[in-house]
């Protein structure tokens, strides 16, 4: 733990050092007044960035005007990411210069190195400094612009074929939403628009895969409860819990207060008409054909997330019912490879969320990347292992960063065949 802390502090120190070098270099040829003003401004922004980052949990964000809060948080994240980008570029330049110096010393017996600059050109080091500055600036602008995407819902359509799916369920349309995080919202009408897009899909079945709130059940106030109650489907709306729903990330005045919060959240699901599955299953019927819908509480293969889920309990009694097709609702996608694939081969489709795609990344025909992939092998979209499938929803809401940059909020529509 101490080693990890020292490494993080070392990276931060280097990022700050290189960033200051780049800024100082960029203002070097300006008039003294401008040079001094911009340097002081940079130091001021750096100070408020780290104060906000260090004391994030101590700040009463609810008392801060929404626009100011969102812009500030986006700026802080963009500023920090920008400095990491500056570090990477400048570190490459220093490694290059060190390698050049070593080669020169060994080959020629001296350490003198010079960069040749053609007429009208700039030195390689100067070019890299400018590149670093541009990347840092784009990071700040990008994350600030990303707050405009937090309610820009994207409908993704996925067709899946299963040999074991009963004939009566062929063509079944299922909508998945996940990670609403009601406490992060600041616009009832925008959320209502997103829910309307869910209803516009005319699904037979709607499934929610956890994290209705950030921490507190009261986040789902009367207005949001009314909005979420609009989610209806002919075969029902079913839900499960995510890691944030248990209230594990806040201090409660007593153990009973935490229990009461969870009980209130369970009751909220019921009031909205959502059937909460707590380590249990339901059987859905069409004529004489049947499929099973299994929902477990949060189960994570990651040490820092809880294991409340119990698959054995959730499927208890299913063996005698002779059901060939099962859909599992499990919030954390790490559950799939850790337990579902090796131990429950008869679960054909698992639906998860949790990662949000980190709300930041690149998704295109040529590249799918997000920093979250270094923590989760399955972080967004469809994954397959043999005859089993996992789909990781990118989330309906947002948490921490009040925006989306490259990874938009998602409504998933499955057509089963």
* Cα separation, 184 vs 182, whole angstroms: 5
Query: Token pair of 286, please?
Result: 């069409």
Query: What would the mean pLDDT of 232-247 be, rounded to a whole number?
Result: 98
**E strand map for 104-225:** 154-160, 172-177, 205-209
Q: Per-residue DSSP letters for 83-119?
A: HHHHHHHHHHHHHHHHHHHHHHHHHHS---------T
Query: Token pair of 265, please?
Result: 């959240």
Helix (H) or strand (E) holding 139: helix 124-146
Query: Token pair of 19, please?
Result: 């960033």
How much is the pLDDT for 285? 96
Residue in this structure with the two tokens 């220093």, named with its chain if needed:
94
Query: What would the mean pLDDT of 32-43 be, rounded to a whole number?
Result: 95
Q: Are strands 280-286 and 289-295 parallel, antiparallel or unpaired?
A: antiparallel
pLDDT band at 410 (very low <50, low <70, confident <90, very high): very high
With beta carbons less than 8 A apart as the criterion, state whether 238 and 329 touch: yes
| CATH, domain range 154-416 | 3.60.21.10
How much is the pLDDT for 66? 86
With beta carbons less than 8 A apart as the criterion, state whether 392 and 158 touch: no
Instruction: Give the residue among 356, 355, 344 at the shortest CA–CA distance from 319.
Output: 344
pLDDT band at 117 (very low <50, low <70, confident <90, very high): low
Residue 342's SS3 state is helix
* Position 123 pLDDT exceeds 80: no
Q: Which residues of 28-61 are buried (b: 16+ CB within 10 A; e: fewer)?
A: eeeeeeeeeeeeeebeeebeebeebeeeeeeeee
* Position 63 pLDDT exceeds 90: no
Each residue's pLDDT tens digit, 242-286: 999 999 999 999 999 999 999 999 999 999 999 999 999 999 999
Each residue's pLDDT tens digit, 187-215: 999 999 999 999 999 999 999 999 999 99
* Position 147 pLDDT exceeds 90: yes
* Position 109 pLDDT exceeds 80: no
pLDDT band at 238 (very low <50, low <70, confident <90, very high): very high
**Where does the chain hold its CATH 3.60.21.10 domain(s)?**
154-416
Chain-wide mean pLDDT for the chain? 93
């Amino acid at each position: 733990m101490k080693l990890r802390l020292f490494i993080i502090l070392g990276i931060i120190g280097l990022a700050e050092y290189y960033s200051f070098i780049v800024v100082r270099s960029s203002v070097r040829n300006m008039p003294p007044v401008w040079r001094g003003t911009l340097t002081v401004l940079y130091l001021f922004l750096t100070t408020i960035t780290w104060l906000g980052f260090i004391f994030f949990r101590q700040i009463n964000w609810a008392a801060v005007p929404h626009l100011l809060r969102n812009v500030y948080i986006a700026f802080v994240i963009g500023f920090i990411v920008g400095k990491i980008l500056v570090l990477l570029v400048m570190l490459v330049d220093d490694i290059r210069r060190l390698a050049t110096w070593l080669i020169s010393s060994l080959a020629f017996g001296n350490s003198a190195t010079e960069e040749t600059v053609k007429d009208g050109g700039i030195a390689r080091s100067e070019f890299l400094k400018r590149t670093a500055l541009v990347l840092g600036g784009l990071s700040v602008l990008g994350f600030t612009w990303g707050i405009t995407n937090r309610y820009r819902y994207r409908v993704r359509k996925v067709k899946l074929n299963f040999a074991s799916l009963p004939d009566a369920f062929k063509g079944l349309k299922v909508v998945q939403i996940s990670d609403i995080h009601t406490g992060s919202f600041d616009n009832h009408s925008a959320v209502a628009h997103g829910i309307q897009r869910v209803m516009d899909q005319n699904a037979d079945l709607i499934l929610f895969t956890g994290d209705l709130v950030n921490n507190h059940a009261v986040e789902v106030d009367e207005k949001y409860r009314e909005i979420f109650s609009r989610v209806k489907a002919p075969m029902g709306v079913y839900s499960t819990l995510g890691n944030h729903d248990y209230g594990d990330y806040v201090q409660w005045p007593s153990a009973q207060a935490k229990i009461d919060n969870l009980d209130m959240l369970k009751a909220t699901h019921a009031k909205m008409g959502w059937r909460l599955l707590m380590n249990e299953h339901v059987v859905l019927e069409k004529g004489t054909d049947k499929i099973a819908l299994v929902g477990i509480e949060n189960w994570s293969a990651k040490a820092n997330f809880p294991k409340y889920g119990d698959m054995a309990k959730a499927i208890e009694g299913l063996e005698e019912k002779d059901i060939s097709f099962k859909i599992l609702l499990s919030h954390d996608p790490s559950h799939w490879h850790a337990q579902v694939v090796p131990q429950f081969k008869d679960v054909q489709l698992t639906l998860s969320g949790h990662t949000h795609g980190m709300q930041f990344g690149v998704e295109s025909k040529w590249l799918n990347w997000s920093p979250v992939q270094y923590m989760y092998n399955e972080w967004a979209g469809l994954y397959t292992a043999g005859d089993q499938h996992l789909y990781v929803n990118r989330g309906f809401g947002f948490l921490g960063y009040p925006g989306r940059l490259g990874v938009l909020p998602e409504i998933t529509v499955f057509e089963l065949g």
